[in-house]
Structure 1
Amino acid sequence: MKRDISSFQNVGLSLIMFAVFPFVLVAQENNNMTFEKSLIRDANSSEITWGPCPEFMPDGCEIAVLHGDPSKQNVDILFKLPANTDIPNHWHNSPERMILLSGELEVTYKGEETQTLKQGYYAYGPAKKPHTGKCGNSGPCVLFIGFENPLDAIPVNK
Structure 2
Amino acid sequence: MKLKRIIPVIFILSLFSFIAQAQNSIALTAKSKMLEWGECPPFMPAGCQIAVLQGDPSRGNFDVFFKVPPNYDIPNHYHTSPERMVLVSGELHVTYQGEKTSVMKVGTYAYGPAEKPHVATCKGGDPCVIFIAFEDPLDAFPFESVE
The AA in structure 2 aligned to 1:131 is H
> 1-side partners of 2:47 and 2:118: how far apart?
19
- Equivalent residue number for residue 155 of structure 1: 142
> 1-side partners of 2:67 and 2:95: how far apart?
18
- Equivalent residue number for residue 65 of structure 1: 52
Give the number of the structure whose residues are more often strand, by fraction.
Answer: 2
Q: Does 1:142 align with 2:113?
A: no
Percent sequence identity over aligned pairs: 59
- Out of 61, 69, 81, which is 1:94 matched to? 81
- Out of 29, 34, 42, which is 1:47 matched to? 34
Q: Does 1:77 align with 2:59?
A: no
Show structure 1 runs of 5+ residues with no match: 1-35
> 2-side partners of 1:67 and 1:133: how far apart?
24
> 2-side partners of 1:98 and 1:138: how far apart?
21
Q: Does 1:37 align with 2:24?
A: yes
Aligned residues: 123
> 1-side partners of 2:107 and 2:125: how far apart?
14
Q: Please report how far the alpha carbon of residue 121 of structure 1 lies from its aligned counterpart in structure 2 after TM superposition.
A: 0.5
TM-score (norm 1): 0.75
RMSD: 1.1
Do 2:83 and 2:114's aligned partners in 1 also have CA atoms closer than 8 Å?
yes
**Matches of residues 100-139 of structure 1 in structure 2 within 5 Å?**
100-139=87-126
Show structure 2 runs of 5+ residues with no match: 1-22
- Equivalent residue number for residue 5 of structure 1: none
